[in-house]
Amino acid sequence: MDNINKINYPNYDFLMIDNSQRGNYYYKLQSEGVPVVRVPRGANSREALAAAQNYARKKALTEGYDYVLSVESDIFPPPDVIQRLMSHWKPVAGALYYIGGIGNTPKHPCVFVTRKENPSATRLITVEEHREMQGVGGIHRVHGMGVGCTLIDVNVLKNNVFWCDNRFTNKHSDVYFYMDLWNKKIPVYVDYDTVVRHDNSDWNKVNDR
């Protein structure tokens, strides 16, 4: 909340969407005066994330918002993040953050692009590729990225929902959301120069029930 309260865009509001299994966290936030709602967690973390994202989607569409900025609770964007992403005038523009770094797992950018040898498949970019792209125009088209810090035009959300496929335990709703946008030829961009802090935890330790 300290970080969110430093965002200096003149016209926005903030809502925390809690998808935890029990109500302890929700009531804690509520008691501290945080604007918060609670959504059903569902059967696992994938359903929980989709439920939270679809709540934000519905709120934006029904209450007349222009954009949704998704900021996951382990992401710490800079105060001018909205100005930075808005300045590109793209339907979907994300800040870059790194994932991994737990145990022996190296950190790498959470950005995926299509494979040259097989455009129907994707791969994560490498640290070296990110370094090469930094300072070269900032914004670049990609297949997708994590939605941890992403600005989305509501016109994109009108016909695109967040969903998951429980046959695959390692794919969350962002994968399918960007797949749908790719198939509909809706361009997605990432700002390689806006790198945000990500205090990620170990997904292997997440209680998925």
Judged by DSSP in three states, 34 sits in: coil
Mean pLDDT, consecutive 10-residue stretches, the chain (209 aa), reads 94 95 93 96 93 98 98 96 96 96 86 90 93 85 95 98 92 95 97 94 70
Domain 4-200 has CATH 3.90.550.10: yes
β-pair type (188-195, 92-96): parallel
Assess contact for 65 and 47: CB atoms under 8 A. Answer: no
pLDDT of residue 202: 76
Longest dimension (CA), the chain: 53
Which DSSP string do the residues of 49-90 spell out, in sequence order?
HHHHHHHHHHHHHHTT-SEEEEE-TTEE--TTHHHHHHTT--
φ, ψ (nearest 5 deg) of residue 6: -90, -10
Output the pLDDT for position 144.
96
Contacts of 71 (CB under 8 A, 6+ apart): 4, 77, 148, 149
Neighbours of 157 (CB within 10 A): 23
pTM: 0.93
pLDDT at residue 208 in the model: 67
Strand partners, 69: 151
Which pLDDT belongs to residue 112? 94
Domain assignments of the chain as residue spans, ordered by start = 4-200
- pLDDT (0 to 100) of residue 3: 95
Residues 111 and 43: their CA atoms lie apart, in Å, by 27
